[in-house]
Amino acid sequence: MAIKSLKSKKILVTCGPTWVPIDDMRVISNRSTGEFGHVIAENLKKEGAVITLLEGPVTSTERPKGVRVLKFLFFDELSNLLNEELKNDYDIVIHAAAVSDYQPTHTYGSKISSEFSRLTLNLTPAPKLIDNMKKINPKIFLVGFKLESSIEKEHMMVKAQNLMKRADCDLVIANCQDNKSYIAYIVDKERNVLGQGVGKKDVAKTLTRILKEKL
Q: What own/partner pairs with CB < 8 Å and gap ≥ 24 does 184-189 have?
A: 185/153, 185/156, 185/157, 185/160, 186/210, 187/157, 187/160, 187/161, 189/164
The confidence score (pLDDT) of residue 153 equals 82
So where are the chain's domains?
10-102+123-214
Residue type at 167?
A: A
pLDDT per residue as tens digits for the range 95-111: 999 999 999 999 999 99
For residue 145, what pLDDT is reported? 96
* pLDDT number for residue 152: 78
Residue-level pLDDT at 1: 46
Enter the CATH code of domain 10-102+123-214. Answer: 3.40.50.10300
Give the pLDDT score at 3.
Answer: 57
Q: Rounded to 5 degrees, what angle do the CA atoms 95, 65, 142 make?
A: 20
The segments of the chain whose pLDDT lies below 50 read 1
